[in-house]
Chain A
Amino acid sequence: MGIWSCIGTTLDEVRDALYQGKSGIIFSQERKDAGFRSALVGNVPKVDLKPYVPRNLRNFMPEEAQYGYIATKQALEHAGLDEDYLNTHEVGIIYGNDSVAEATMQSLDKFRQANSTVACGSGAIFQSMNSNITMNLACLFKLRGINLTASAACASGSQSIGLAALLISQGLQDCVVCGGAEENNMYGIASFDGIQAFSIREDEPTKASRPFDASRDGLVPSGGGATVVLESYEHAVKRGANIIAEIVSWGFSGNGDHISTPNVEGPARSLELCLRNGGVDPKQIGYINAHATSTVIGDRREAQAIAQLFGERTVPVTSTKSQTGHEMWMAGASEIIYSTLMMKNGFIAGNINFEKPDEETACINVLPETKETHFDMFLSNSFGFGGTNSTLIVKNV
């Protein structure tokens, strides 16, 4: 696993931040001055790739690819997959991404300013394609298997893991690098701010993201990169890998409904399919990492879907977005890492800022504070615009 986020840039930092209930959210004066309604954002450090990637190759990498690179570098090291191994084995990549705003804007600004397409620069075409992360990482890490970008809005990271697990289970790939990354500049989400979906609790940045809480008023955007390496059990054993966890099953569904307002039925089917695919009884799930982004309607609908499948106020539920904000295309992958870190270290990170539920989120058991506890299986939800839903169940090894 590898992670570059607003609550840490190493697995150890992130584990500690989760345990301590640390928030990664700040107020950005730059965004306020630029005209944002909400200038809250995850404080994700910029990546310096100069020590790792030469100029001519870095020139193809927009912000999200840089996050994807550094998370993947960590993940490959963590998995013990070195250059020699990657050069001699077929490893694939499926990665979530769903925006290329800053890179596209910058190259087209240069084009319009100079009235010349040459002014866009040699990297612009690669930077402004949605598959920029998979194209860059496949070339840099010599990945020669499946090479595919999953674009499924805020479920992209989760869908990438689900797809990789499916290919592996079918025997089509032995090992796949997967994850998600999100550009964290203001251009990527300016229009999102424009539809007034963000929290305006600017006087209390660390309290702004409060999934399931009665006084929530919108999400807080964030970004970064998160990578997990999936491989078949046989492949892992054969190469003597340190197996961390097992993907038990993937569930998915589409709402076929409103583009931004979720319903209960679609997410519920994603949860149900995931449980059914894995042959998992709801009672086996020790923790649910919710998609909940801190929007009024979205959190309600997810709470109701969870209660429908698990019964009212049963399994512990938290949304790590209370600490990280909404990492969007990255979230489905980062939240698998957050939840796995909790599972491996015997705790559930509290849903910070949760004080009391509203009438419709009271049906689930939200843990407001970190609890030391042992669990061996968790479920993670990711839902996105257009009604794309993805659910993963992961088991301890």
Chain B
Amino acid sequence: MTREEIIAEINSELAEEFEIDEAAITPDAPIYQTLELDSLSLVDLIGIVQTKYGVLISKAELPNIKTFAQLYDYIEQHQK
């Protein structure tokens, strides 16, 4: 998938799953605050990325993904 395709798909998926306005998802927006993630619902983000792209975000790498742009980068680099 191209980066543009990934962005369109993941944004739509996340907006639906976390019940937020898709317009709030911008490349520089903070993921945790925007999706209102806590230690449990974070698992749902990881699950979506794994199910959609076969990419398992490791615990060690999680702290490095703070914005949506960083999430797109991670998926793009690791997708199978």
Contact = CB atoms under 8 A, between A and B. Distances in A.
Given A55-B19, A56-B36, A114-B51, A121 B56 contact: no
* Size band of the interface chain A makes with B: 10 to 19
Interface residues of B, number: 14
Contacts of A50: 19
Nearest to B17: A55
Contacts of B29: none
A54, A56, A110, A114 interface centre (most CB from chain B within 10 Å): A56
Interface in B5-41: 18-19, 36, 38, 40-41
Given A114-B51, A118-B56, A119-B51, A55 B46 contact: no
A118 B47 contact: yes
Interface in B42-80: 42-44, 46-47, 50-51, 56
B47 A119 contact: yes
Given A55-B18, A55-B19, A118 B43 contact: yes
Interface string A112-124: 0010101111110
Contacts of B40: 56, 59, 122-123
A114 B41 contact: no
Contacts of A123: 40
Nearest to B19: A55
Contacts of B38: 56
Contacts of A122: 40-44, 47
Contacts of B56: 116, 118
Nearest to B42: A122
Interface in A119-133: 119-123
- When A and B form their complex, which 8 residue pairs have the shortest distance between CB atoms, in order from nearest? A122-B43, A122-B40, A55-B19, A118-B47, A56-B41, A122-B44, A119-B47, A122-B41
Interface of B: 18-19, 36, 38, 40-44, 46-47, 50-51, 56
